[in-house]
Structure 1
């Protein structure tokens, strides 16, 4: 029944109780045992059952084991390596039963004489079954590695998308700060130029020059920020982000628009990280932009930057209309300001002053980020 029986015949003795196969029987058994192997990967259990039935018919006909009986071991390996453990164990038990039956028939149903070839065939069947189980486990392990790699790749792509969304949100806040501030300055300068164009042409000329400079600055910053959104890698380097040193230029720009502004720095200046400097700059810019938009005519502003032992405090206040100023409900400046401050573990407060006007106070911890 099993192919290895032919070898055991040569090793242990002659075929007692078995007959020689004819040419027609040999061809039929060869086809019955070997042809089903073509579909063993697609239907491993069905192929094993079919081959086992053909081998059982061969045993019942007292036909000696033939080389095509190797198909039994091949089918057993296929079931063990491609099906579940229970199916592999069942196939091994069937093959082992066939090995014992073949050994007993070969030696005239004498167990004492058939014991040695039966043990030999049992070792062969067990080796084939163990090797099939090993390959099944290995394939399962490789599949788990592939699934894990695919899952990690999906997680990586998700993290990249989240990071891109966060970067685009940051750029959106930057664009809001740039556009809102510069457009507010342009509007104030345009109103001043329209008012003074008949009575004071020199002042109107200065206002138009300020509008031109502000517009160019706004365009340059917008090009830089929008360039980050390009997907190509050859966008080139971008201009550095504004920091505390650029606060002087911002103050001069506000003063040029016609609003009186006082700027003070208290304490011992620290060297801050670029991100923290950008946060300070955007807070002052947003607060002054709101002052230009809502404080009204004749308002004055005061910016105070205080360096403490473990924090930097930014205070921007004005004496304009304060809470009485109209709000269209579309602004995102204060929300973006609080988000920026929250990233550094600080606090931000925007409120109406008791004596009139508006005040923005932001406190940013700098103990970790600062270097004296």
Structure 2
């Protein structure tokens, strides 16, 4: 309901002419109240409706398009008001149109146009004060000062509204620019993480191919003298080849650009989590590592994914958890998936972040390679938790 009301309000505000016409309603009410009260003893322009209504229409009608043509509207209203002064017609309620038009110029145009409109309005105030007390400036000074101060106040308010509008527009533009920059940084971080994953998977595949070559050489050597051993070697080649093919498919899925850089060295896996925990402890964050379920062999690419996610989560905990915090890593082996949970008891939601890190983006990219998912956030009792669940390929499930 609130959203619908907000939409109606925005649609109404978009019709500037209707809004400006509606704002003239109070002036019309005051005119209706002025007319009967002055018909008996008031000026002739009030008692006779046609000149009064004609003058009011000439002054008020241009205001309907005042925000679309502010300078033109002010010029028209000023000319009409000057003609009113030349004809000796006294002020009427509709003369407030001069102040409204001057305010519009001050709020919608540059400061120089606003100053020019204010000077014209002040000149009109002086002419009106001189008309009321011809030749007696001492008595005319009071009305002039009153009208002049009112005009200056309205002009300053228009300048304030223009400045505020420009400030809000600058804030909106800055927010939009920061959002675009943030999206660009996220895309760049995602691309860099995918390139890094591709290099590491390239190493895994290269290792598997090396194993295949060694097993093939052994099978070729033993096929005549020890057929059973050769058969075992061929079975190992088959299994390793399937794993290598699976890793290669994932590699082709995340690789976005040719990048052969990176060392060809053994990559860490779940067995190196204990060494990683020792490094984090030496850096100042106590870490406990716990294994649930029955450990089993996992593809090297999957092990690397688990290791990198735990590494990133512990690094974040070391940076943001605060002093006297500790962390726990739980590695759970299930029937069809591996679950990882990294939790700390530090600051949690109160941790200060510069908003420029992309650790969670990298975690999600790595888990997505294997069809996994990552959830992260502050813990209800304090601290922060990262939970990951990655499916195990069907060929290596228990």
Distance in 2 between residues matched to 1:202 and 1:52, nearest whole Å = 109
Q: Aligned ranges for residues 225-264 of structure 1 at < 5 Å?
A: 242-243=268-269, 245=271
Q: For the Cα contact (< 8 Å) 1:33–1:51, is it kept in 2?
A: yes
Structure 1: stretches of 5+ with no match in the other structure: 11-17, 230-240, 248-267, 275-280, 286-372
Post-superposition offset of 1:127: 0.8
Query: Hey, what does 2:144 align to over in structure 1?
Result: 118
Mapped pair 1:85 → 2:92: no
Q: Aligned ranges for residues 36-51 of structure 1 at < 5 Å?
A: 36-51=62-77
Query: Hey, what does 1:199 align to over in structure 2?
Result: 225
Q: Aligned ranges for residues 171-320 of structure 1 at < 5 Å?
A: 171-218=197-244, 242-243=268-269, 245=271, 271-272=278-279
* 1:320-352 CA distance string (max 9 Å, x none): xxxxxxxxxxxxxxxxxxxxxxxxxxxxxxxxx
Query: Hey, what does 2:125 align to over in structure 1?
Result: 99
Distance in 1 between residues matched to 2:131 and 2:276, nearest whole Å = 101
Query: Hey, what does 1:327 align to over in structure 2?
Result: none
Between 215-224 and 193-202, report the one with greater CA deviation. 215-224
Mapped pair 1:167 → 2:174: no
Distance in 2 between residues matched to 1:163 and 1:269, nearest whole Å = 24
Distance in 1 between residues matched to 2:240 and 2:248, nearest whole Å = 12
Distance in 2 between residues matched to 1:124 and 1:269, nearest whole Å = 74
Post-superposition offset of 1:211: 1.3
Post-superposition offset of 1:195: 4.5
Query: Hey, what does 2:44 align to over in structure 1?
Result: 20
Post-superposition offset of 1:199: 3.4
Query: Hey, what does 2:158 align to over in structure 1?
Result: 132
Structure 2: stretches of 5+ with no match in the other structure: 1-26, 35-41, 256-266, 282-299, 305-398
Distance in 1 between residues matched to 2:149 and 2:73, nearest whole Å = 23
Distance in 1 between residues matched to 2:195 and 2:253, nearest whole Å = 15
Q: For the Cα contact (< 8 Å) 2:63–2:101, is it kept in 1?
A: yes
Cα distance change of structure 1 residues 183 and 120 upon mapping to structure 2, 3 Å threshold: same
Distance in 2 between residues matched to 1:94 and 1:63, nearest whole Å = 19
Cα distance change of structure 1 residues 273 and 30 upon mapping to structure 2, 3 Å threshold: same
Distance in 1 between residues matched to 2:125 and 2:105, nearest whole Å = 17
Q: For the Cα contact (< 8 Å) 1:174–1:225, is it kept in 2?
A: no
In the superposition, the TM-score normalised over structure 2's length comes to: 0.52
Distance in 2 between residues matched to 1:198 and 1:79, nearest whole Å = 101
Mapped pair 1:52 → 2:106: no
Between 73-82 and 217-226, report the one with greater CA deviation. 217-226
Mapped pair 1:70 → 2:77: no
Runs of 4+ in 1 over 6 A off after TM superposition: 223-229
Distance in 1 between residues matched to 2:277 and 2:174, nearest whole Å = 48
For this pair of structures, how many residues does the alignment match? 234
Larger radius of gyration: 1
Query: Hey, what does 1:157 align to over in structure 2?
Result: 183
Q: RMSD value over aligned CA atoms?
A: 3.6
The structure whose residues are more often helix, as a share, is: 2
Distance in 2 between residues matched to 1:67 and 1:32, nearest whole Å = 13
Distance in 2 between residues matched to 1:109 and 1:191, nearest whole Å = 121
* 1:169-196 CA distance string (max 9 Å, x none): 1011012111222123223323432453
Distance in 2 between residues matched to 1:94 and 1:134, nearest whole Å = 20
Distance in 2 between residues matched to 1:126 and 1:95, nearest whole Å = 9
